[in-house]
C-alpha cells in the first residue's frame, strides 16, 4: 500500500487552499495519507489540515529554523520525515516548485512535476510544452516526489478529524540563506494567476494610454488584467502582465482577449480558461478559432460600450 506524505504549504498561520487539492490527487493514488506541517508554531495549520477528508494523520514539526519558507531549511526536515513513504506530494505553487526538487535530489529520487491526472501509484499525466502536449509517464520503483497541478483537481471537503502528532526534526537554519521580507502584491485588482476573470489587451491597443480602456473594463467586472507578448514588447504594459507560454499560464473562468490576434505563444497561456471571449477587428484572427464567443469590431467602441452595459 502507498504511504503518502503531503507537505502543507501555509502562510500567516493559515493552510494554503491548494493543499485540499493535493489531497484529492493523493486520494487518487490511494493509501495512507499523512500531512506534514513545518513551521515555527504549526498548531493552527495542523488543526486545519486535520479536518480535511482523507487525512489519516497530521505531523507537526515545530522549529524556529522553519519560521520562513526557505527551501534549504525545509528540504532536510522533509527528507528526515520522508523515510518509509512511497510518495511525497507538494502543491504546484512557487513554494512547491522551489522545495520539491531539493527534496528529490537529497533523496536521490525522481520528481514528477505538475501532475494533472493519476492513473495509479506510478502512472501519471503531466503537461509539457506549456500544455500543448500531455504526456503519460511511468515512475521507476522507489519513492517519488510529485508536484500537483492545482487547476486539475477539486479540493476535498473538510469533514474529517485526523490525529495530530508532534514530530521532532534536527534542523538548523542554513547560515547561507537569510529571509529578508515578503512584499505582498498591493494592486487592488485580482491577481492575474488566481483571478476568476481576466481581461487582456494586445498590440491593437496601440499605446500605454489606450490601455486605460482595458483597465476600466476589468475594474467594472472585477477582473485581473493581462497582456499579450506583443503589447509587452511594445512597452504598453510591464512584463509581469504577460500572458502566454513565456509569461503567465492562467486558467480563469472567463477570459477576454481584446485586440489580441492569438499567436501560438499567447494561446498556450490561456488553454485552460473555461470561457474565452475574443474582441478583434480582424475576422480572420486566429484567436477566433479558440474563442467560445467572438465579436468582430473596433475595440475602442466595443469595449467602452461593454464597460457601460455590464
Partner 1 sequence: MKAIVSVKRVVDYNVRIQVKPDGSGVVTDGVKMSMNPFDEIAMEEAVRLKEKGKITEIIAVTIGGAKNEETLRTALAFGATKAIHIKDEGEVQPLTAARALAAVFKKEGASLLIAGKQAIDDDANQTGQMVAALLDIAQATFAGKVDVDGNKATVVREVDAGLETLEIDLPAVITADLRLNEPRYLKLPDIMKAKRIPIEATTLADLGVTAAAAVKTVKTAPPPTRSKGVVVKTVDDLIAALKAKGLA
Residues of this chain, 96-155, that bind partner 1 according to CB under 8 A: 97-106, 108-114, 123, 127-142
Which one, 11 or 167, has the nearer CB to partner 1?
11
Comparing CB distances to partner 1, the nearer of 63 and 245 is 245
Q: Kindly state the smallest distance separating residue 61's Cβ from partner 1, in Å.
A: 19
* Shortest CB 113 distance to partner 1, Å: 5
- Work out whether 254 is an interface residue with partner 1 (CB under 8 A): yes
Euclidean distance between the first and final Cα of the chain, in Å? 53
Residue 310 contacts partner 1 per CB under 8 A: yes
Residue 292 φ then ψ, to 5°: -80, -35
* Contact range with partner 1 by CB under 8 A, out of 40-48, 88-96, 157-165, 203-211: 88-96
Binding piece for partner 1, criterion CB under 8 A, among 51-59, 162-170, 210-218, 273-281: 273-281
The region that residue 206 occupies, defined by phi over 0 for left and psi between -120 and 50 for alpha, beta otherwise, is left
Give the nearest distance from C-beta 246 to partner 1 in angstroms: 5
Residues in 1-40 at the binding interface with partner 1, rule: CB under 8 A:
11
Q: In whole angstroms, how close is the CB of 1 to partner 1 at the nearest point?
A: 22
C-alpha span between 270 and 300 (Å, rounded): 23
C-alpha cell at 77: 526536515
Within 275-294, the residues that bind partner 1 by CB under 8 A are 275-277, 288-294
With respect to partner 1, which residue has the nearer C-beta, 37 or 162?
A: 37
Cβ proximity of 283 and 266 under 8 Å: no
Nearest in space to 294 (alpha carbons), one of 307, 309, 310, 275: 275
Closest-CA residue to 121 (of 103, 106, 143, 104): 143
Spatial contact of 63 and 40, defined as CB atoms under 8 Å apart: yes
Contact 38, 6 (CB under 8 A): no
Radius of gyration of the chain, Cα coordinates, nearest whole angstrom: 22
Phi (first) and psi of residue 271, to 5 degrees: -50, -35
Letters for 153-182 (x = contact with partner 1 by CB under 8 A, - = none) are: ---------------------xxxxxxxxx
Under rule CB under 8 A, how many of the chain's residues touch partner 1? Answer: 86
Amino acid at each position: 500500500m502507498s504511504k503518502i506524505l503531503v507537505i502543507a504549504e501555509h502562510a500567516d498561520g493559515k493552510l494554503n487552499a491548494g493543499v485540499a487539492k493535493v489531497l484529492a490527487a493523493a486520494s487518487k493514488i490511494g493509501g495512507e495519507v499523512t500531512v506534514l506541517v513545518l513551521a515555527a508554531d504549526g498548531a493552527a495549520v495542523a488543526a486545519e489540515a486535520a479536518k480535511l477528508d482523507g487525512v489519516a494523520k497530521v505531523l507537526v514539526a515545530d522549529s524556529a529554523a522553519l519560521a520562513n519558507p526557505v527551501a534549504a531549511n525545509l528540504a532536510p526536515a522533509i527528507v528526515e520525515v520522508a523515510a518509509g513513504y512511497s510518495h511525497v506530494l507538494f502543491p504546484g505553487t512557487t513554494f512547491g516548485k522551489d522545495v520539491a526538487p531539493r527534496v528529490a535530489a537529497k533523496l536521490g529520487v525522481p520528481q514528477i512535476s505538475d501532475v494533472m491526472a493519476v492513473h495509479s501509484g506510478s502512472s501519471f499525466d503531466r503537461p509539457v510544452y506549456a500544455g500543448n502536449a500531455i504526456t503519460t509517464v511511468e515512475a521507476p520503483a522507489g519513492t517519488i516526489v510529485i508536484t500537483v497541478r492545482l487547476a486539475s483537481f477539486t479540493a476535498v471537503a473538510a469533514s474529517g478529524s485526523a490525529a495530530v502528532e508532534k514530530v521532532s526534526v534536527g534542523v538548523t537554519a542554513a547560515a547561507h540563506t537569510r529571509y529578508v521580507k515578503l512584499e505582498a502584491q498591493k494592486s487592488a485588482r485580482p491577481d492575474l494567476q488566481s483571478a476568476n476573470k481576466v481581461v487582456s489587451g494586445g498590440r491593437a491597443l496601440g499605446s500605454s494610454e489606450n490601455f486605460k480602456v482595458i483597465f476600466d473594463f476589468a475594474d467594472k467586472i472585477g477582473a485581473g488584467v493581462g497582456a499579450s507578448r506583443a503589447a509587452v514588447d511594445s512597452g504598453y504594459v510591464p512584463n509581469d502582465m504577460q500572458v502566454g507560454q513565456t509569461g503567465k499560464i492562467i486558467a480563469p473562468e472567463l477570459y477576454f482577449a481584446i485586440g489580441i490576434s492569438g499567436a501560438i505563444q499567447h494561446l498556450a497561456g490561456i488553454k485552460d480558461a473555461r470561457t474565452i471571449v475574443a474582441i478583434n477587428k480582424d475576422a480572420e484572427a486566429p484567436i477566433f478559432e479558440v474563442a467560445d464567443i467572438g465579436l468582430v469590431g473596433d475595440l475602442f467602441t466595443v469595449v467602452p460600450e461593454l464597460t457601460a452595459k455590464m
